Structure 1
């Protein structure tokens, strides 16, 4: 679909309550395959590739989170959808928070997986800008090899070789320019604590028990911020519990969706 001057690749399956899944960095929409396959019999499942990722147009430079959010709103407009459940993981979770902050009337419920709401620190900003330059200079391969055992738990790298291969393929297949643009935009993100604290929609916070990037304590804090939210900790999983423990993740998601 043509949105905001780019072509967005997406899957749209099923019928019923609409759930929009937003992948993280540096992945693509296949991140959500276990959820799409499981939920499409009962829900309308929409899974796009973000700007700069997968089969969606790559725009070098800087992609602020607001641009990602506006792309998703444009996609929803094109599909004739007013309010949806938003489910985002990691960077995708922060894009979901931005969409919720800027376009609250489009949000029916929130699912925030392995993410955090605070704005960037000076140290984090410097790190993300540096990583952006590294990805453009070196390509995605060295970075992908370096972070695999942080994206999924080290023991799952061994125990779940198909999952590890999928995660590596997504990371290695990502455009360095697209990933760098997202990193630069993420380095300048605002703080979402206040907007989350004021939300009136149902919310589910999910985290892998062994997540190094966003530990359980971070998820517990976000859960405490969001009024009436639910917390699900997925055992035996790192930063990508939807791939590492899809049955447990899907169970938590379905229990939540049944209440929306």
Structure 2
């Protein structure tokens, strides 16, 4: 693990693999940390530079985001600090929303996009209220009740036991204050569906066939909206196909990397 001091926070991150091709930036979801990308770090880090941060308020990165754009500004500042002008960006769930936001705010930093188990839609009145209520609950009760209730929505009941244990441990170890701040920030994030047609970089959209949080219909909206995007449905996986079905997920990511110009 490495750390980098940015203007407003300190981020923990992994930075492995050789320079050469455009680096790969992996953005984790809620309420996880950079360890959710272990299968991808092992697979791709042998041949390509792979950068995997803990988002502010998660894992070993302290603090809490004051508003939604802070996640994106942190990533842009991280790339600046590592002297990485552009990266192929892969994000899952909240990380996918952050990846779309990075494209919207800093398109010149994005060489390709993998959007996994994500919705581009903004919040409804009801879902916004639910996020605010969840933030309050996390602060009141801590992470354990949330983690137990949601484990077999994050992964399928047939997930390998070691995967389920890993996901549960990540959720339980998350700082409730950081997770609550993220939920409040997400409640006010913009709807990015209208901007999908502006995405001009190679894009792959991945979703688990059993994802109840962001189902295949949500993924199809993104794939249909981004010109030339590929949709990959990972059979039997729930919300975290990168952990449940890493071979299928890695194959989809490799196809994206193959489409990204090297310069």
1:137 equivalent among 140, 144, 155: 140
The reply on whether 1:45 has 2:50 as its aligned counterpart is yes
For residue 77 of structure 2, the aligned residue among 70, 74, 78 is 74
Q: How far apart in 2 are the matches of 1:204 and 1:80?
A: 26
SS of alignment partner, residue 239 of structure 1: coil
Which residue of structure 2 lines up, in the alignment, with residue 93 of structure 1? 96
Q: Separation in 1 of the partners of 2:185 and 2:169?
A: 24
The residue aligned with 2:259 is 259
| Distance across 1 between alignment mates of 2:66 and 2:41 | 26
Deviations 1:94-141 (A, max 9, x none): 111111101111111111000010111110110000000000000000
What is the aligned partner in structure 1 of residue 204 from structure 2?
204
Question: Which residue is equivalent to 1:232?
Answer: 232
- Structure 2: state its 5+ residue gaps: none
TM-score (norm 1): 0.96
Q: CA deviation at 1:6?
A: 1.1
TM-score (norm 2): 0.95
Secondary structure of the residue aligned to 2:158 is: helix
Tell me the distance in 1 between the aligned counterparts of 2:196 and 2:11: 28
- Report deviation, 1:64: 2.3
Superposition RMSD in Å: 0.9
Instruction: Tell me which of 125, 148, 154 is aligned to 1:122.
Output: 125
Asked if residue 27 in structure 1 is aligned to residue 66 in structure 2, the reply is no
Tell me, yes or no, if structure 1 residue 83 matches structure 2 residue 82: no
Report how many aligned residue pairs link the two structures.
255
User: Shift of the alpha carbon at 1:71?
Assistant: 0.2
Q: Find the residue that maps to 2:213 and give its secondary structure.
A: coil
Other structure's SS at 1:110 match: strand
Name stretches of at least 5 consecutive residues in structure 1 with no aligned partner.
Answer: none
Moved segments of 4+, more than 4 Å: none
What pairs up with 1:214-253 in 2 under 5 angstroms? 214-253=214-253
